[in-house]
A and B are shown apart, each in its own frame.
Chain A
Amino acid sequence: MIYFDKVSKRYTDGRPAVEDVTLSISPNEFVSIVGHSGAGKTTLLKLLLAEERPTEGSVFYESIPVHDIPLHALHHFRRKVGTVFQDFRLIPNKTAYENIAFAMEAAGRTDEEIESDVPHILELVDLGDKAHHFPRQLSGGEQQRVAIGRAIINQPDIIVADEPTGNLDPVNTYEVVEILKKINELGTTVIITTHNKGVVDAIGKRVITMDRGRLVRDDAAGHYVL
């Protein structure tokens, strides 16, 4: 489903962020990418989302090279991928409800669909009572749950989560991991990056370890080893 073919990324200062990475991810997998800060985890995800262009190699999504998709058509690809970030990246002047509804509006869904799906998703991430709060009125864990709601609302093929628990306390971390596991069980491919050992061990699925831009381990049912 996803295939990185000898992908390297060097930033303008010449430092390689990702070097010669080849890996493939099948449908319905739950992949954790681990490594120290600066190991290239986030860059790898940005390459997948076509936020960054690789210096060498290609990234394929269902045999389409994602970096060949023109800018004006990129949103069609992005609707198939739900994204969650460490810093949540909610739209600050929209309420929790509107943040989730925005992803549906952007995908051109009807008002009826929005009105029936958004409350449902808010219940799923346990925010039914905070639908009309703005992001600044929500805690970190609540904001991240809104972001997850936004990521899954359009039933994407893949969820990409970059350090989703990085800014959260243990209780919220546990909740977020549980939600992601549930999403994966319902048939969505999930890719997360983390440097939290507890998270990786709690998931107990495929672990890819990166170090200084290179892929150093790939374990089918791995643990956090560094």
Chain B
Amino acid sequence: MSTRRVLSAGAKSFARGGVVSFATVLVMTVTLGIIGILLVLSAILDHTLANIRDKVDVNVYFVTSATEPEIEELADKLRALPEVAEVAYTSREEALAEFRLRHAGDQLTLQALDELGDNPLGASLAIKAKDPSQYETVVKFLDEGTALTAGTASIVDRVNYYQNKEVIDRLTGFIRLSERAGTAFVLLFAIASIVIALATVRLAIYSSREEIGVMRLVGAANTYIRAPFIVAGMMAGGIAGLIVLVIMYPASWYVSAKLAGWLGGFSVLSYYLTSFPKLFVTLVGAGVVLGAVASFLAVRRYLRV
């Protein structure tokens, strides 16, 4: 069986299919369009959740007598933990400068600070975990760790985790729920649109059922009958994928322009541009695979003559 014959027969039957080919491409375009929108939505969700995650941290405030090497030692230990993403050190001087800046308009507070003479603020470490649910472990380590280092007295003044615990827990739950709901939503719509595409290809091939019977009677082997239909299906899917990619460019430009504020700094256009290879492979690939599988299944019904 020559590949060239199969390819040219498939291309011809697609080109001559007229309205039927057009309708198939149209439905596939809608299907892949939905998948494209789902990809963008899940990117927006990821971005939003990452933003929220980024805002969560735990601060460890040290007593004023804690020395920098002591704090650095603890920070290094924290950085070695697999759960910890980042540890930022703020020295006493920096804390004071920040405090002054924050109360720049508040003469009374600044005056009180000046009268105190000494810097009353302690150094601090801001810890970011890789996932909000991991703060519990990090804080537990801190409690045990400082107990060990403090031969005399603990250098840690306080950890603000316990004040924020409720908020962090609630946020963790919300993020998990959103991710699960997002996945379920994507799956549901992907399945629904795939079923619609399968039904359409089946209808397109239904109109060729007599032709398939004739091919059988003329002595064509099943694989030889099936292959051009699969090629035509792949072409319809591939073209639909390309159409979706082309439409997505102005659409994402429009959405970016109109909804930039809504999406918390997420630009759909730059997502489209940076993820273009991924989108191309996903959409065109999904179209080609969908077309091939749908045609294979649809033709099989009519080959039993």
Contacts and interface: CB of A to CB of B under 8 A. Distances in A.
B213 to A, nearest CB: 8
Interface string A114-133: 00000000000000000000
Residue of B1, B13, B221, B222 with most partner-chain A CB within 10 A: B221
B26 to A, nearest CB: 19
B301 to A, nearest CB: 13
A75 B214 contact: no
Contacts of A102: 215, 218, 220
A108 B12 CA distance: 19
A81 B216 CA distance: 12
Contacts of A71: 222, 304
B219 A103 contact: yes
Q: Interface residues of B: mostly helix, strand, loop or mixed?
A: helix
A105 B220 CA distance: 8
Residue of A76, A108, A154 with most partner-chain B CB within 10 A: A108
Given A51-B305, A89-B210, A108-B1, A75 B216 contact: yes
Contacts of B16: 93
Residue of B17, B210, B218 with most partner-chain A CB within 10 A: B218
Contacts of B247: none
A90 B217 CA distance: 11
A49 interface: yes
B157 interface: no
Nearest to A71: B304
A75 B220 CA distance: 6
B259 to A, nearest CB: 46
B220 A83 contact: no
B13 A75 contact: no
A77 to B, nearest CB: 8
Interface string B1-29: 10001000100110011000000000000
B17 A106 contact: no
Given A89-B214, A91-B214, A102-B215, A75 B304 contact: no
B222 A78 contact: no
Contacts of A75: 216, 219-222
A93 B220 CA distance: 17
Contact of B218 (A51, A83, A108): A83
A150 B211 contact: no
Given A91-B211, A92-B211, A72 B13 contact: no
Given A89-B210, A93-B17, A154 B219 contact: yes
Contacts of A83: 217-218
Please tell me the size bucket of the interface on B.
20 to 34
A93 B219 CA distance: 19
Nearest to B211: A91
Contacts of B12: 93-94
A107 B5 CA distance: 13
Contact of A150 (B218, B221, B224): B218
Given A93-B16, A108-B1, A51 B215 contact: no
A206 interface: no
A90 to B, nearest CB: 8
Interface in B197-245: 210-211, 213-222, 224
B211 A103 contact: no
B224 A106 contact: yes
Given A93-B13, A93-B16, A93-B17, A106 B220 contact: yes
A107 B219 contact: yes
A71 B216 CA distance: 10
A92 B209 CA distance: 12
A108 B221 CA distance: 10
A90 B214 CA distance: 7
Residue of A76, A90, A107 with most partner-chain B CB within 10 A: A107
A97 B217 CA distance: 18
Interface in A56-104: 71-72, 74-76, 78-79, 81, 83, 89-94, 102-103
Contacts of B1: 108
A103 B304 contact: no
Nearest to B305: A51
A154 B224 CA distance: 17
Contacts of A79: 219
Interface of A: 49, 51, 71-72, 74-76, 78-79, 81, 83, 89-94, 102-103, 105-108, 150, 154
Given A83-B217, A93-B13, 6 more contacts: A71-B222, A78-B219, A89-B210, A106-B218, A106-B221, A107-B219
7 contacts: A51-B217, A51-B305, A71-B222, A72-B222, A89-B213, A105-B5, A150-B218
